Amino acid sequence: MSVPVVVFTGDNAVLLSQAVSERLTELLGDSDPTGVVDEFSGDDYPLAEALLAASAVSMFGERIVVCRNAGRADNDDVAALTEYLENPNPDTTLIVAWESAINPGIRKKPFAKKISDMIKAAGGQIVATAAPTQAKAQQGWINERLSASSVRFTPGATVAITDHLGEDVSRIGAIIDLIESSFAPGTRIEVGDVTPLLFSAGGVPPWDLTDALNAGMIPDAVGVARRMMIGGGRHPLQVMATLQNHYESILRLDGAGVRSEAQAADLLGMKPYPAKKILSASQRMGHGGATRAIRLLATADVDLRGATAIDPQATIEVLVARLAALARR
């Protein structure tokens, strides 16, 4: 085994677990995991116990030791790992999943640079499992995983999956697994094959909402707000915060004599491109529209905090529809 230690890091538990499973499959090949893999998981085992297993001489040749939930490591665990890294067993691949404890009350520790340096010095590897955050990079990341699947996705099916995921791209693995379990290898997957198997739509970034509002696209704005709350798991008050920040920025430009995106960016303290969008919205809405928006936000905010018994999601959807209508005037 060429790599003595592999540490998987990342904040997304799904992606991290998938990466560990993929590496295990790769290392095992056709071998029976029974005599090869020792796996430790949970909140109670000391890391030293797993490292002792990694250090032991195996009667079966090369071995794999997996340490899950290692993000809870205390000082004793770190000391034991540091000692092991000084002389790792050449016949063992140690896989460390730097993931959170099972108990949500146990805080996940940051992955120390000292350990990172020692892993690299020992010939080990650190695998960051986070998905890319930029839209273009996310598309490439999704395409790579779809291309590696046992089935063949048409361009239409790829678009449908990408649109469905929104910003929650970490769910791509679960979607691929479901589709692969439903169709034989090599099957050409069309849009109609994908649609019935998709889960609830993933979240979308907040600028999708503000862009739809600025354009006065009422159905689109309501749909985006709904996805933010249902697919993206955002609380209605979080969506409200996005709306308040946006319209407060619009109001700040109202009457300020700002004529260019550079002036708007300077006044708002943001980059020119988003400032240009806010300036355009402010000019389109005018003073009356901007003040009307603030009044709508204030009323909805009170409603969300218990002034009425109306469902919070419905309150946000009605608010968003009324705000988008202001851009049409």
- Render pLDDT for 14-65 as a digit per residue (tens, 0 to 9): 778 878 888 888 888 888 787 788 899 888 899 999 999 999 887 667 889 9
- The residue out of 106, 128, 150 marking a domain boundary is 128
| Tens-digit pLDDT profile for residues 121-176 | 888 999 888 777 677 778 888 888 899 888 999 999 999 888 888 777 777 877 88
Same domain, 74 and 153: no
pLDDT value, residue 195: 79
Is 145 found in the same domain as 217? no
**Token digits of residue 145:** 């995983």
Secondary structure percentages of the chain, helix, strand, coil, to 5: 60, 10, 30
Token pair belonging to 109:
């520790």
For the question of whether the overall pTM of this predicted structure is more than 0.85, the answer is no
83-97 pLDDT, tens digit per residue, is 999 999 988 999 999
What amino acid is encoded at 78 in this protein? V
Same domain, residue pair 124 and 193: no
- Same structural domain, 166 and 255: no
- Pick the closest to residue 24 from 68, 66, 84, 72 (CA basis): 66
Same domain, 212 and 190: no
Number of structural domains in the chain: 3
pLDDT at 322: 92
pLDDT for 299: 92
What pLDDT score does 199 carry? 56
93 Cβ contact list (under 8 Å, min separation 6): 1, 3, 4, 5, 6, 27, 62, 63, 64, 65
Residue-by-residue DSSP string for 78-92: HHHHHHHHHS--TTE
Q: What's the pLDDT score for residue 48? A: 92
Burial, 329: exposed, middle or buried (Cβ in 10 Å; 0-12, 13-18, 19+)? Answer: exposed
Same domain, 57 and 102: yes
CB 247 within 8 A of CB 290: yes
Q: Please check whether residues 124 and 9 belong to one and the same domain.
A: yes
Residue 329, pLDDT > 70, answer: no
pLDDT of residue 201: 62
In percent, the amount of the chain with pLDDT more than 90 equals 24
- For the domain that residue 64 is a member of, what is the CATH number? 3.40.50.300
Taking residues 195-212, what's their average pLDDT?
76
- pLDDT recorded at residue 25: 85
Check residues 63 and 306 and name the one with the higher pLDDT: 63
| Structure tokens given for 25 | 């499959």
Kindly list the distances between the CA atom of residue 207 and the CA atoms of 211, 247, 310, in Å, as whole numbers in the listed order.
Answer: 6, 13, 26
What's the domain range around 239?
A: 206-326
CATH of the domain at 145: 1.10.8
Residue 104 binned pLDDT confidence (cut-offs 50, 70, 90): confident
- Do 298 and 272 share a structural domain? yes
- Rounded distance, CA 213 to CA 322, Å? 9
Distance CA 155, CA 226 (A): 26
